[in-house]
Chain A
């Protein structure tokens, strides 16, 4: 915009007058009609990841400290199904990436298929985690049995809840309109969701390593 004109408009505004509006200073609202630039979703998701990372770091440091000082730590026998769950979750990272790329290439049907597959894998992972919990419970290992089991339930539970949120996001996005004029918004949302999904995969690998190596 030209400076002079803008100033006049703003001075008009100062006294409550009306004038033709200047343009949005940032990339104007996306084709889906949203007024904020698409990049806020990307920024937002990375900030959320920073916060979640702090949360799990706090739990992990509590884990290491608690284990370091204790004389009562008895490692629990990790259910074997956790390996299968890990494979499922890592697989879902691959499928969500495929879905995201298909959408970017303008192939909404393919997107829909792979996106649905990712959702299913996410639910399968959660079901698998539930089986792991049930197995432990059957073996008499409860939350309060031992600090190792307390941390096992806290870490897997916290991760599971985050993943449940991820599944909800996938389901919500699957219902969104992917018609041409809204595709840019959907692409950003899908990208943000997949960043979150990959991150939860990484967190799970770290948790799983922690449980295996420092159990």
Chain B
């Protein structure tokens, strides 16, 4: 076969084609990761300002002087939006997935490189539009990342930031939907059609399964969000009444809309919004499985059960959106169905947890930095998942809905657990991506305050939620019973300051290792999957035209009788696998 045919596209020459408008999935993956890194620091800075304001409401803060309620709500909205869309959706899936999916299945690139590039640049434009919301008249929107109408639909009459800021928000989300749809299509096609010889579906690393299923959720979910966003935009600017009912009086003015349904938005939004939770967390589950198996030196416990559990979570995840709406006035009979379906998600989630512990059981655990974050992920997943069991029951949800209990719950599971997945992925794959290793010492120094810190921030939120502390309150003085909870706020704020400070260790480690890290070997972790067969960083078409064949499952560690305790996927039986070497 002529070599010329073996590359999806020629290796580009020139800076712009190589690094800016690149078609190479590896460059695009890194672009996504850098975008997410920038976004996560913006989002984190916003959360720091909010935490400071909650404890010292009269303090002069950078950019804000003394923060007003509407500024707080704008920060809250943008924090949620940036974190959910531009961090949790981009980094684990579009970032790491883009980089490693093709390599792990033995492909030269994604199926549609141009679409891949477009997908990133759409995301970039979407982020720019979102950031612009800070700088327009009225500032960023104050309606939360869920943008419930009528608040989000009637314009600035309902509050500052609900004019231009809200419009930019909707436009940005619509662009983001387009980007995600392109990305999802690419991921699914690549997984289905570009696997190398011998890479059957049931031999794929669990990371690939997670990215694949996540892409399916994104393909279905973002299409619905796009439709909802278009309707909201029309309500805002074309005078339609999809979501705005008649007879609204806002600041003494009668609003001309009539007949719309605020609940319709909630249904459409959460039809996307709940799968979005799994879009954020499934890649983290895949990465955690991958890392746990590598460093326990054991095959993953119950590979098939893990794959089925991912599918079960995704399938159930598409049919439980109503559990966000128990207090919304939705049909109380459907609440019953939504509740039971939600409780059922506990089952595949428990399967994953037990199988992770089963993987560690009897292992020879190496405590590398990625392993620490993977173990941290399991712990956070258990904690955050279990508080969901309370919220899934409509009656128990009543006192807890829209309180800090919910905030604590989703931060642990879809926020921090997913972030731990990303940290694990970064420490695990950094050497492959950049050819140098991150400092293990700094990595561990980063892990400890982060792991303890996030629990200190988010566990107490459950307790003040029990005590009835509503979320999205810029000020806790008007409602009197909140005064007793102020010491908890202080504790969480201090924990947040320490945790955020610790993230600079990570940033330093990242950039320092980029230039000064130890040169990486091809396979420093003694791992089995295909990304560890190519140079670090891999050449333009990953395998330099020589594509591996795959002979076994992804996690063959500790095979009895084999010379080494890991048997890579690409080594044929009897040729370096079991028995020889």
Contacts and interface: CB of A to CB of B under 8 A. Distances in A.
Q: Is there direct touching of A and B in the complex, by C-beta distance under 8 Å? A: yes
Contacts of A73: 259
A212 interface: no
A87 interface: no
Interface string A52-65: 10111111001001
A36 B224 contact: no
A51 B193 contact: no
B119 to A, nearest CB: 13
A83 B524 CA distance: 67
A39 B193 contact: yes
Contact of A6 (B185, B223, B544, B548): B548
Nearest to B258: A72
A39 to B, nearest CB: 6
Most chain-B CB neighbours within 10 Å: which of A34, A35, A71? A35
A24 interface: yes
B444 interface: no
A114 B9 CA distance: 32
Interface string B88-106: 0000000000000000001
A1 B226 CA distance: 47
Contact of B6 (A1, A6, A35, A43): A35
B551 interface: yes
Contact of B185 (A4, A20, A24, A47): A47
A54 B238 contact: no
B246 A26 contact: no
A117 interface: no
B228 interface: yes
Interface residues of B, number: 70
- Residue of B7, B548, B551, B576 with most chain A CB atoms under a 10 A cut-off: B548
Interface in B532-581: 533-535, 543-549, 551, 570-573, 575-576
A62 B235 CA distance: 14
B485 interface: no
B132 to A, nearest CB: 25
A62 B268 contact: yes
A50 interface: yes
B209 interface: no
B522 interface: yes
B4 to A, nearest CB: 8
B459 interface: no
Given A37-B193, A40-B194, A69 B261 contact: yes
Given A62-B231, A72-B258, A23 B533 contact: no
A156 to B, nearest CB: 13
B7 A35 contact: yes
Nearest to A8: B575
B238 A144 contact: yes
Interface string B171-204: 0000000000100111011101111111000000
A26 B219 contact: no
Contacts of A18: 544
Which residue, B106, B184, B230, has most C-beta atoms of chain A within 10 A? B230
A24 B1 contact: yes
Query: Considering residues A19, A24, A51, which has the most beta carbons from chain B within 10 angstroms of its beta carbon?
Result: A51
B313 interface: no
A94 interface: no
Chain A binding surface, main DSSP class: helix
Given A14-B522, A36-B194, A54 B533 contact: no
A15 B549 CA distance: 18
B181 A51 contact: yes
Given A13-B534, A28-B5, A35-B6, A54 B544 contact: no
A62 B108 CA distance: 42
Contacts of A72: 246, 258-259
**How many of chain A's residues touch chain B, expressed as a range?**
35 or more
A140 interface: no
A4 B573 CA distance: 9
A70 B533 contact: no
B439 interface: no
Nearest to A57: B224
B196 A65 contact: no
A40 B264 contact: no
Nearest to B186: A44
Contact of B533 (A14, A55, A58): A14
Nearest to A16: B535
A51 B223 contact: yes
Contacts of A22: 546-549
Contacts of A1: 197, 549
Contacts of A16: 535
Contact of B271 (A13, A25, A58): A58
| Residue with the greatest number of chain A CB neighbours at <10 A, chosen from B228, B240, B573 | B240
Interface of B: 1, 3-9, 106, 108, 111-112, 181, 184-186, 188-190, 192-198, 219-220, 222-224, 226-228, 230-231, 234, 238-242, 246, 258-261, 264, 267-268, 271, 522-523, 533-535, 543-549, 551, 570-573, 575-576
Given A51-B219, A62-B268, 20 more contacts: A1-B549, A3-B551, A3-B573, A4-B572, A7-B575, A24-B5, A24-B6, A25-B106, A26-B193, A35-B9, A37-B193, A43-B111, A44-B185, A51-B184, A58-B223, A66-B261, A143-B238, A144-B238, A144-B239, A154-B230
8 contacts: A19-B546, A21-B544, A36-B194, A39-B193, A54-B223, A72-B246, A143-B239, A147-B259
